[in-house]
Structure 1
Amino acid sequence: MYKILIADDEGIVRDSLKYIIEKDFSDCEIYLAKSGRQAIEIAEEYSPDIALLDIQMPGINGLSALREIKAVNKKVRALILTAYDNFDYAKEAVELGATDYIMKPIDRKKIDDTFLRLMHDIEAERQKRQYDLCIREKMEAVIPIIENGFVLSLIIKNEYNYSGAQYRELLDLKEEYGFIIVLEWGEGFMSHAPGNPVGSSVRAHKFVTGISEQIRTYFKAYLSNIMGNKIVAVIPSETDNLSYEDRLRMIEKVRSLTASLKEMVSIDFKAGIGSVRTWDDAFESYQEALNALRHGVRKVTHVDDLYVRDTDDRQYADMKKALQDALMKGSDIEVRHEAEAYLSRVFENNDDLVSAKMELLEVYIDSCHLMEERGKYFKDDFGPKLIKASDAQTLRDIFIMAVQQLKQEILIQSGKQNTVISKAQEYMKKYYNKDISLEATAETVNISPYYFSKLFKEETGINFSDYLTELRINRAKELINQDPDRNIKEVSIEAGYSNPNYFSRIFKKWTGMTPTELRDSIKAEV
């Protein structure tokens, strides 16, 4: 079916053209217009394939009508009709996208030849469109297979070397970096492990399309198939690392994603996020994501926020403590002996190298907490070496070297144990009278606010806000005791409160009396 618009102010011309087209061509639907305005209205409603437009029509002429029609239907083939052999008209018609320029009186052969050519072009374009849609439909079915292959090439060690580049070419993936998110689900999480993983996996399969679509609303992501109760998402990155702010935004997005997935599937979701890597090293990002997933204390954990602590598994507790005691004593013989003992226990209880790495990383990171800069060596030196170890003996050698170096660093620090929280406390004691926040303090120790808040409460027994308030109130009490005649407003400002009225309310809440009452009681004693 070809839709044809004929626009001419002369009825005999319209009828003649209609007769020729209907006589010489089948399967045509013809619309007639006697003005430029009517031609535009018909074109907007019916989207003709071919439009014959007379230049000299009252009101809106043919060229103006063509301009309007082309604005809404760029594919229309336009033929300009005129009784004047005017080059300027022809030139303007071509510039506006006219296909041909037909002189009146109408030559039937010219009309037939032109229409045969245009219909052939239209048919070829339609077939190409059908072919493209067919290819696209097939690609829509194939792309998930390619994506899954690409993800597998990254999470299976050394597989990317064989097939990764080809997958990237098929996916038109230009970015040179990326990181991995592992999403896991279950009926609640007990001791970091999902409840009823098999049952929840079966339930999630009913929502596999929705889960994939939801992930893609948050990220440009390449997804694996559902693997039991997990799905792996590969997120391309234009840079080789995430800034602190970008990391927080990423965690927020993943938190929002897990919440939306929980609402969709009615089961709990948890996520681990690896660091940005080149595609050649993406396997490490995957391992980091798994480590963050398994050891993270929140529903969403970035590997840089990972704070691995002693578990309830008592079989390693005493040996870990013995190793750390040896590190603190600084004895080379004791450190090596305890490290060897710990290694033997690890390899006895872990059948695969990955599990052994996770256990050794756990004790190593925890031992790094003895250092002034928590986790420094895990992040910058020995941690990556441990992860990259390709066999058990290499892993043993690297671990021994790591703890011996750690022992030396502890000795250099002469026993100073300045943890993340103690560093944060020092920062708060220094800037308590400034406008400091939990977020700003967390940034100084390079931990996300979510983890910092939890760790602070666990290590100090008090939340961040109350600790800061306590610092400020204690300072205010000191100032009043030192000089009872001091202006309360000055005390308020020096203690970190710009609003004296608010300061007085908080002071009374903490001490049972207002600053003025405390000052008066001190004066009375004097």
Structure 2
Amino acid sequence: MFQVLVADDEEIEIRALEMMIRHDFPEEVEIVPGAKNGLELIAGIQKYQPDIVIADINMPGMNGIEALELIRAKYPRMKILISTAYSDFDYIRRALKLGAVDYLLKPVDRETFQKTFSALLARTGQERFEEDAERKIRRDVGEMQSIAGNEFLSSMLLGDVTENSFNHYLRSLPHPYHGTVVMMVQTSHDGTGGFSNMRKGLQKTISGILSQYCSVIGKSYRNDLYFLIFLPDEMDDARWLRYLKDLAELVSKKLKDYPVRLEFSFSRKGKTVQEIELCLEECRLALSQQEPENLHFYRDPENRDSEELPVETRQHIQAILKNEGKDEPEKLSGHLQQAILYMRQNYAQDLSLEDVAAQADISSFYLSRLFRQELRCTFVEELTQIRIRQAMQLMKQSRLSMREIAVLTGYRNVTYFYKVFRKSVGAGAGEVRELLRSGMENKMGSIG
């Protein structure tokens, strides 16, 4: 139902129009109290905010033209139908230019009014329908963006993200895509109950703060919070770093009274799926730097002194590359020799103990015993060593992305690759790659 306000300096004109409306449009229109001059018209509009106003353009106090200028400025969607006894069409054209949707010439006959008012109701109804539809679209788009964003971030944390899921989310962004930064928030607590729910509430709070300044996806995962921050426009390195610092300081300030300690870490800017996956590792590396502040920004390993890696770690990297401590296949028993050669040739495949045992023409139980007796390790440990050594060679000799290196060495899940690499080597894949590329292996060779 639409609300209508009638304004005219003649009481009888108001009543005549109201009577026609009640008689011909009883189910569609509600009439609010009328106005006898321009000032009453403005007051009535402010009080009732009707959908349609029928106003004489020649009223005392403030004429319809003056009132129309004020109405249009404050209520641009309100429909104004002017009525006049003037035959000066220039005057009518002025009113139409100011936003009146149509006009009626006095005396208004019923047939003309029915036709004009019916068309106005249809137009108003269509616009209301379109406005409702637009609101629904915005709501649905927002919900779809939230769902797509959470699915994308979840798959990214689990290492299962694809180009399709990434592009699907990008299509829902309200602005062009200029790159992404990962923010990780580590929380500490006193061991009291209910902290899991508190962390989820914290994630929503931080997402709410950040969403006022950028597009963001947030998720609580295990004991930490992760946020993908989509940069609002193209920025050079200095500007986006300043932008992130401002965001971090803003969040820290608003959460300064939060009952737990918060540590913030930021990755470098990434654009592709592969770069963003590497951002997760960069966040963890930044957080492990043990700086006194609670804000940590990833520092490019190229700018680090290689001495930051412990001597033991660098020695271990050298040993893996040279395969120290392992007998060469020709020094091993025949079956184990055959198994090792097969593993070195097929490490990129999804190998199992049973697969390799079949190639060596022995049982998996016997092969497992040979690994322990002759190499003093398990099948999985030896396969991991082969894969990690090959990954290091690719890091040193190629410009492949970490995701590509992971796949080429038998790891379909790049996040799992990062975990295995750090556990095996004692340092992150990004650190080791930059170390190898910068020629630090020469310095490692002088240690001992």
TM-score w.r.t. length of structure 2:
0.67
SS for the counterpart of 1:286 is: helix
Closer, same or farther in 2 for the Cα pair 1:248/1:90, shift >3 Å?
A: closer
Amino acid of the structure 1 residue aligned with 2:166: G
Cα deviation code 1:481-525 (max 9, x no counterpart) = xxxxxxxxxxxxxxxxxxxxxxxxxxxxxxxxxxxxxxxxxxxxx
Q: Is contact 1:198-1:228 (8 Å) kept? A: no
Q: Is the deviation greater in 250-259 or in 274-283?
A: 250-259
Residue deviations 1:398-438 (CA, integer Å, cap 9, x gap): 86992892255899xx99xxxxxxxxxxxxxxxxxxxxxxx
Please, which of 302, 305, 310 is the counterpart of residue 297 of structure 2? 302
Q: 5 Å matches for 1:258-337? A: 258=252, 260-261=254-255, 263-264=257-258, 266-280=259-273, 281-297=275-291, 298-304=293-299, 319-320=312-313, 336=318
Change (3 A) 1:160 1:240: farther
Does residue 232 (structure 1) correspond to residue 221 (structure 2)? The answer is no
Provide closer, same or farther for how the CA distance between residues 351 and 161 of structure 1 changes in structure 2, counting only shifts above 3 A: farther
Shift of 1:211: 3.3
Question: Contact 1:214 / 1:257 at 8 angstroms: preserved in 2?
Answer: yes
Distance of aligned partners of 1:352 and 1:234 in 2 relative to their CA distance in 1, 3 Å threshold: farther
The CA distance in 2 between the partners of 1:382 and 1:252, in whole Å, is 39
Given that residues 262 and 269 in structure 1 are in contact (C-alpha distance below 8 angstroms), is that contact kept between their aligned partners in structure 2? no
Separation in 2, partners of 1:216, 1:12: 55
Judged with a 3 Å threshold, the aligned counterparts in structure 2 of structure 1 residues 387 and 351 are, in CA distance, closer, same or farther, namely: farther
Change (3 A) 1:204 1:153: closer
1: CA distance, partners of 2:437 / 2:296 = 26
What code does the residue aligned with 2:210 have? Answer: I
C-alpha deviation, 1:107, in angstroms? 0.5
Maintained 8 Å contact 2:204/2:218: no
Are the structure 2 counterparts of residues 114 and 70 from structure 1 closer, same or farther at C-alpha, using a change threshold of 3 Å?
same
Compare relative contact order (CA 8 Å, sep 6+) and give the higher one, 1 or 2.
Answer: 2
Distance apart, 1:282 and its partner CA: 1.4
Secondary structure of the residue aligned to 1:98 is coil
Instruction: Determine if the alignment matches structure 1 residue 201 to structure 2 residue 196.
Output: yes
Displacement after TM superposition at 1:310 (Å): 9.1
Partner of 1:43: 45
How far apart are 1:44 and its partner, in Å?
Answer: 2.3
Residue 51 and residue 337 in structure 1: after superposition, are their counterparts in 2 closer, same or farther (change >3 A)?
A: closer
User: Would you say 1:30 and 2:64 are equivalent positions?
Assistant: no
Q: 1:199 to 1:402 in 2, by over 3 A?
A: farther
2:241 corresponds to = 247
Q: Give 5+ residue unaligned stretches, structure 2.
A: 327-376, 412-420
**Residue 211, structure 1, aligned to residue 245, structure 2:** no
Distance 1:14 1:236, change over 3 A: same
Instruction: Provide the C-alpha distance between the structure 2 equivalents of 1:271 and 1:350, rounded to a whole number of angstroms.
Output: 35
Q: TM-score, normalised by structure 1?
A: 0.58
CA positional deviation for 1:260? 3.3
Inter-partner Cα distance in structure 2 for 1:35 and 1:123: 28
The amino acid across from 1:128 in the alignment is E
Report the alpha carbon displacement of residue 169 of structure 1 after superposing the two structures with TM: 0.7
Residues 200, 267 of structure 1: 8 Å contact kept: no
How far apart are 1:198 and its partner, in Å?
9.2
Give the aligned residue type for 1:402. Answer: L
CA 1:107–1:212 in 2, change beyond 3 Å: closer, same or farther?
Answer: same
Task: Flag the 1:136–1:393 CA change in 2: closer, same or farther, 3 A.
Answer: closer
For the structure 1 residues 343 and 139, does the alpha-carbon distance in structure 2 shift closer, same or farther, using more than 3 Å as the test? farther
User: Per-residue deviation at 1:273?
Assistant: 0.9
1:402 aligned partner: 436
Mapped partners of 1:248, 1:268: distance in 2: 23
- For structure 1, the residue ranges without an aligned partner over 5 or more in a row are 189-195, 324-334, 362-377, 416-526
Q: Deviations over 1:250-309 (max 9, x none)?
A: 235324424534534x11211221111222321122221122123443422111178799
Change beyond 3 A, Cα 1:242–1:41: same
Question: In structure 2, do the counterparts of structure 1 residues 385 and 81 end up closer, same or farther at CA, with 3 Å as the change threshold?
Answer: closer
Q: Does 1:19 align with 2:53?
A: no
The structure with the greater share of residues assigned to helix is 1
Count of residue pairs the alignment pairs up: 364
Q: Deviations over 1:154-183 (max 9, x none)?
A: 556573423211221123451232221112
Q: Distance in 1 between matches of 2:244 and 2:110?
A: 68
CA distance in 2, matches of 1:251, 1:351: 44
Q: Percent identity?
A: 21
Q: 2:58 — aligned with what?
A: 56
Asked if the contact 1:177/1:278 (under 8 Å) is kept, the reply is yes
What does the per-residue CA deviation read over 1:446-483, in whole Å, with 9 as the maximum and x for residues that have no partner?
xxxxxxxxxxxxxxxxxxxxxxxxxxxxxxxxxxxxxx
Q: Say if 1:53 and 1:78, in contact at 8 Å, map to a contact too.
A: yes
Check 1:317–1:175 CA distance in 2 against 1; reply closer, same or farther (3 A cut): closer
Separation in 2, partners of 1:291, 1:351: 27
Q: Using a 3 Å threshold, how does the CA distance of structure 1 residues 343 and 91 change in structure 2: closer, same or farther?
A: farther
Q: Distance in 1 between matches of 2:60 and 2:221?
A: 70
Matched, 1:183 2:185: yes
Question: Which residue type is aligned with residue 204 of structure 1?
Answer: R
